[in-house]
């Protein structure tokens, strides 16, 4: 068997490969290009879009760079050419920051400890847990157990704030990298991927000081900016955390190739059966909304449909009444409406009904958004009306109702919204209220897709 050299750091760099092996790797580390399939579905011209999305890069020195978690795929592909690989481990060990212990009020559940042990043994991989199962606490436990300088990557301000508070429980004041702060010299750093990527590219040595990198909401790993960060973080330990590892855009493989094996997978059904989480009930509320048009011939069909949904007075009144009655019944409500204009309309309607409705949209100031979500957590505010900003990183134990006011279909997003309700809280009976428009075929099909998403996590639908 022939042998080739490979350096392992932030990526795997393969040297002196035969052209035949390069082509074999090119195919093994690629998949049908999602954008091409999308263009064909939309009857658009796919010219210019490659047939396959390649996760292999040919470098100027003729070496080949591949994602670090793809080691098994690399071995398997090269074995077909009777080629073995000798790995030179250049992963960064980081600096010792231990010993660290979790405070008494944080008790790891058995599966969280299992995940941490798996990371310590396997060095890299992904952990899949439903929302409310304690991914952040597991991550903090991993920081304590590994005991090396660590960096946590997040993509929203809410997630950054949550990690900062939890890292402080270790007795460490974390550094923060975001639009205003560039604190990369702390033992533990919590960073926005958007702010971190250009810093690492300008000075690659910055990433070499960390021995552990954690990506929260790891289903975002295929995003260009996230990949830019991972390529400059050679930490020995690499952990991805997510509730929804399956992407509808076809980039699932790149998630696994970025991290390696799945170290731990727990389903919502398992954790409900064990008493750690609650299974929400589903309530369908049908509207009388109607809309004329042919999606096959009208290029503006969806634009006109969405505008009609937003402006339909009867539909909006139905949703506002639903929310008002739930608030009056003492429930804590998250009303998700997706469109800024629709959120504001519903917020005004609820305010006129005497309901203290907080509206959180993309243009809401960071301080106001934080205050409104904290008011929901504390029970001061009974309802928040929000766009998709509340889809990830929202930790509100008392949340008992999620109203889906805009007809989405994406499975990942639907599941993310449902699992906001699963956290255990005193006397909580969580319910998803799905507003369905059966008189419009397009929207009825979307509702059917959501029902399939509900069933996939064990909800009665």
Q: DSSP per residue over 168-188, as a string?
A: HTTT---EEESSS-B---SSE
Q: List the one residue out of 207, 208, 229 whose CA is nearest residue 155.
A: 229
Q: What is the mean pLDDT of residues 237-254?
A: 89
2-89 matches 110-266 in fold:
no
User: Among all chains, which residue has been given the structure tokens 């000798």?
Assistant: 86
Q: What is the mean pLDDT of residues 238-264?
A: 91
pLDDT confidence of residue 367: 85
Q: What is the mean pLDDT of residues 15-37?
A: 92
pLDDT at 36 over 90: no
pLDDT at 48 over 90: no
pLDDT confidence of residue 206: 95
pLDDT at 127 over 80: yes
Q: How would you class 330 by CB atoms within 10 Å of its CB: exposed for 0-12, middle for 13-18, buried for 19 or more?
A: exposed
Q: What is the mean pLDDT of residues 143-168?
A: 94
CATH topology of domain 277-456: Rossmann fold (3.40.50)
Can you tell me the distance from the alpha carbon of 302 to that of 55, in angstroms, rounded to the nearest whole number? 33
pLDDT confidence of residue 389: 63
pLDDT at 196 over 70: yes
pLDDT confidence of residue 283: 97
Provide the pLDDT confidence category of residue 38 given band limits of 50, 70 and 90: confident
Q: What is the mean pLDDT of residues 217-221?
A: 93
Of 108-112, 259-263, 418-422, where does mean pLDDT reach its minimum?
Answer: 418-422
CA 261 to chain centre: 18
Q: What is the mean pLDDT of residues 425-452?
A: 95
Write out pLDDT tens, residues 278-332: 999 999 999 999 999 888 788 889 999 999 999 999 999 999 999 999 999 999 9
pLDDT at 390 over 70: no
CATH class of 2-89: alpha beta
- The domain locations on the chain are 2-89, 110-266, 277-456
CATH topology of domain 110-266: Rossmann fold (3.40.50)
Q: List the one residue out of 138, 132, 130, 136 whose CA is nearest residue 114.
A: 138
Q: Which long-range contacts (C-beta less than 8 Å, at least 24 apart) are formed by 296-300? A: none
Q: What is the mean pLDDT of residues 266-280?
A: 95
């Amino acid at each position: 068997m022939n042998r080739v050299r490979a350096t392992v750091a932030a990526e795997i760099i393969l040297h002196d490969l035969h052209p035949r092996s390069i082509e074999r790797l090119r195919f093994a580390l690629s998949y049908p290009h999602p954008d091409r399939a999308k263009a064909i579905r939309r009857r658009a011209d796919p010219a210019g879009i490659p047939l396959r999305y390649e996760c292999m890069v040919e470098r100027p020195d003729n070496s080949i760079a591949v994602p670090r978690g793809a080691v098994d795929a690399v071995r398997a592909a090269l074995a077909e050419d009777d080629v073995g690989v000798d790995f030179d481990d250049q992963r960064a060990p980081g600096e010792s920051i231990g010993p660290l212990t979790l405070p008494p009020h944080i008790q790891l559940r058995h599966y969280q400890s299992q995940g941490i042990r798996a990371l310590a043994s396997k060095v890299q991989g992904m952990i899949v847990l439903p929302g409310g199962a304690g991914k952040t606490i597991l991550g903090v436990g991993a920081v304590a157990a590994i005991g090396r300088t660590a960096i946590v990557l997040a993509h929203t301000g809410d997630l950054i704030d949550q990690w900062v508070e939890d890292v402080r429980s270790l007795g460490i004041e974390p550094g923060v990298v975001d639009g205003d702060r560039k604190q990369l010299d702390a033992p533990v750093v919590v960073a926005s991927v958007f702010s971190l990527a250009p810093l690492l590219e300008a000075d690659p040595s910055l990433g070499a000081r960390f021995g552990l990198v954690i990506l929260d909401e790891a289903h975002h790993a295929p995003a260009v900016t996230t990949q830019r960060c991972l390529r400059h973080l050679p930490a020995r330990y690499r952990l991805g955390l997510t509730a929804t590892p399956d992407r509808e855009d076809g980039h699932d493989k790149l998630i696994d190739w970025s991290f390696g094996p799945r170290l731990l997978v727990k389903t919502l059904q398992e954790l409900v059966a064990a008493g750690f989480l609650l299974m929400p009930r589903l309530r369908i509320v049908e509207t009388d909304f109607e809309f004329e048009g042919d999606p096959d011939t009208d290029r503006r069909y969806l634009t006109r449909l969405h505008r009609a949904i937003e402006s339909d007075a009867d539909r909006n009144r139905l949703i506002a009444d639903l929310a008002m009655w739930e608030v009056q019944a003492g429930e804590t409500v998250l009303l998700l409406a997706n469109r800024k204009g629709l959120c504001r309309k519903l917020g005004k309607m609820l305010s006129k009904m005497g309901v203290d409705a907080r509206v959180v949209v993309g243009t809401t100031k960071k301080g106001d958004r934080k205050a409104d979500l904290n008011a929901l957590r504390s029970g001061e505010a009974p309802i928040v009306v929000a766009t998709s900003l509340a889809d990830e990183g929202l930790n509100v134990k008392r949340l008992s109702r999620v109203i889906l006011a805009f007809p989405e279909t994406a499975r990942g997003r639907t599941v993310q919204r449902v699992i906001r309700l699963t956290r255990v809280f005193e006397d909580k009976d969580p319910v998803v209220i799905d507003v369905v428009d059966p008189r419009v075929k397009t929207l009825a099909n979307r509702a059917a897709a959501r029902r399939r998403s509900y069933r996939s996590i064990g909800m009665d639908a």
